[in-house]
């Protein structure tokens, strides 16, 4: 299997979506606290299922509705990730996508940068809610972290990331990424 860091956008989404699905399958307590302040495990799935349709709709791309995360997080996730995978594997993937706040870029790049990366980062959250350390690609985590450092002020100003937690210099890149986006590396559900 190709590592996410070196994969094409469609392959990267498949890899990270499958990793997230594995964490869903391992989750037994949907009300367990997650490392995002005020969130439970179910809220991690809810976030990934619910935020992206509005993002795509702003650029004229519609996703089908999915089952309620409250009723069945696994089914909701499966339907959402399959719909996004279908977009990435379609002939539309390379078309221009214009978002009112981000400008124009290929649709597959918008999905890759804004959604697949988010799925990867939230895999940590769902695993931690279940008391697990997820098996995540350190090379992809390092690449994401390297891309986020130069825009840290903007990221923190958006309100979507909490203050960074310190980590030792020799930290695993996955742990360092989680700490950078505001997750306490020592969080225990």
What percent of the chain stands above pLDDT 70? 98
Residue 139: CA count within 13 A, CB half-sphere: 7
Query: Which of 61, 63, 31 minimizes the C-alpha distance to 45?
Result: 31
> Which of the four pLDDT bands, split at 50, 70 and 90, describes residue 2?
low
pTM for the structure as a whole = 0.93
Residue 85 near residue 13 (C-beta atoms within 8 A): yes
What pLDDT shows up at residue 154?
A: 87
Residue 99 host element (H or E): strand 96-99
Question: Are the beta carbons of 103 and 114 closer than 8 angstroms?
Answer: no
Q: What is the pLDDT of residue 122?
A: 97
* Ramachandran quadrant class, 44 (left: phi over 0; alpha: psi -120 to 50; beta: rest): alpha
Name the average pLDDT for the chain: 93
pLDDT at 167: 87
Q: 157: pLDDT confidence band, cut at 50, 70 and 90?
A: confident
Question: What SS3 state is found at 137?
Answer: coil
């Amino acid at each position: 299997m190709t590592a996410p860091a070196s994969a094409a956008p469609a392959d990267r989404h498949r890899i990270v979506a499958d990793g997230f699905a594995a964490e869903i399958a391992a989750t037994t307590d949907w009300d367990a606290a997650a490392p995002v302040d005020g969130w439970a495990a179910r809220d991690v799935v809810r976030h990934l299922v619910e935020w992206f349709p509005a993002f795509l709709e702003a650029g004229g791309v519609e996703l089908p509705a999915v089952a309620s995360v409250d009723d069945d997080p696994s089914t909701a996730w499966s339907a959402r990730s399959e719909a996004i995978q279908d977009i990435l594997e379609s002939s539309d993937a390379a078309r221009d996508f214009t978002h009112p706040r981000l400008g124009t870029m290929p649709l597959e790049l918008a999905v890759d940068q804004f959604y697949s990366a988010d799925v990867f980062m939230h895999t940590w959250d769902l695993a931690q809610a279940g008391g697990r350390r997820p098996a995540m690609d350190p090379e992809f985590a390092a690449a994401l972290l390297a891309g986020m450092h130069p825009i840290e002020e903007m990221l923190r100003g958006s309100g979507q990331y909490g203050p960074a937690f310190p980590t030792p210099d020799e930290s695993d890149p996955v742990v360092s990424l989680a700490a950078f986006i505001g997750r306490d590396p020592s969080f225990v559900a």
